[in-house]
Amino acid sequence: MKKENQLKQAYEIAKERYAELGVDVDSAIENMKKISLSLHCWQTDDVVGFENQGGPLTGGIQVTGNYPGRARNIDEVRTDIEKVTSLIAGKHRLSLHEIYGDFQGKVVDRDEVEPKHFQSWMEWAKEKELKLDFNSTSFSHPKSGNLTLANPDDSIRNFWIEHTKRCRWISEEMGKFQNDPSIMNLWIHDGSKEVPASRLKYRQILEQSLDEIFSTPYEHMKDCIEAKLFGIGLESYTVGSYDFYLGYGAKKGKIVTLDTGHFHLTESVADKISSLLLFTPEIMLHVSRPIRWDSDHVVILNDDLLDLTREIIRSNALDRIHVGLDYFDATINRIGAYVVGCRATQKAFLRALLEPSATLQKYEANDQYFERLALQEELKSLPWTAVWDQYCLQNGVPVGEDYIADIKKYEKEVTSKR
């Protein structure tokens, strides 16, 4: 009780400090309700899934580490997700890859998958007050190779076209069931280790495949197309580059997914937000943390993340941007990695909501660039942490570092016994 009183006192002081700058702290906390993170189920099990085909992770993807306690089946994945959501404030979503279907021990190839294989997920998610998003899965399959939807071989390409069509159908049924559109993300690894004789050839094939896949209109799902910079073993050429998908998305009215790990390290993903908002209907974010290459490190509260969330809030675009997480770290406690990334993303959004945007815009309009810069710097040391603690307190989740003990207890009682 003493700690709770101290937190409330700190919050009241923070409210007064922010009020001096014209910021309504209570309103900022209320606006946090609009931000639902789409949690990536593959952090629980290192992108293994539940197919019975076996084999290594392929498609230019790599998970490093072998920390004990990986989820091995659908029940363990769900138990881990429930633990994660108990430690983060708000109502959220869950993003599933196709390989996480409830196949009941049967071999179901990817061109045979149906909504029934995800019915138990829909029912479980409804019970847990989660909304579902979806992803087609082109990697880790005997027919994956280096090319899927951009493959000149008709039999292989048609296999993946059929798979992706079925994934859109599944996403549509998820949207119907939950009475909220399911976001269906399409990402393929297609590329080449060396520069191909014709870059255009494979992009023409990919465009044709996408046109066929998207030919069926749906009302309860939304299509996203995700670019990538490169994959391991496919370093020189990526068919579905950012330029390709940006052009396709702008032309066809599709949502372009921005994965923060899929760009050159010197690029600002935040800078892309305002441009996409002008030319595409919505934006899907996959929040990750690249280090030297697309290594998908656990998200932390760094400058890149803060810049990204500020740009979203400054653009008044919360209703047009979907926020998903996408990293997979097996070197540390997987549940801990999950929670650190989720809470870091929420902290970044809260700090963005606490920005006195009206004052900053007034300075800018009056060419008061010193004042603008000075205030931006002072904002970094304002008592935003007291507001964050209050946000956690109001939502009944651990405050500060208290969640560490919860995760260690879960490891001792659950994951260490796997």
Active site residues: 187, 226, 228, 259, 262, 286, 294, 296, 326
Element (H, E) at 66: none
Residue 304, helix vs strand vs coil:
helix
Long-range pairs for 232-235 at CB < 8 Å and ≥24 separation? 232/60, 232/61, 232/62, 233/60, 233/146, 233/193, 234/60, 234/146, 234/189, 234/190, 234/191, 234/192, 234/193, 235/191, 235/193
Element (H, E) at 96: strand 93-97
- For residue 302, with 0-12 CB atoms within 10 Å meaning exposed, 13-18 middle and 19 or more buried, which class applies? exposed
Q: Are 252 and 214 in contact (CB under 8 A)?
A: yes
- Rounded to whole angstroms, the Cα distance separating 70 from 300 reads 22
Measuring CA to CA, how many Å separate 361 from each of 120, 171, 367, 376?
Answer: 49, 41, 10, 11
- Rounded to whole angstroms, the Cα distance separating 228 from 240 reads 7
- Rounded to whole angstroms, the Cα distance separating 323 from 32 reads 13
| Strand extents, DSSP E, 288-357 | 289-291, 293-297, 321-325
AA letter at 73: N
AA letter at 325: L
| Strand extents, DSSP E, 168-278 | 182-186, 191-192, 221-226, 237-238, 255-259
Rg (CA), the chain: 22
Q: Which of 36, 25, 34 is nearest to 342 (CA)?
A: 36
User: Which two structure tokens, joined as six digits, stand for 208?
Assistant: 């044709």
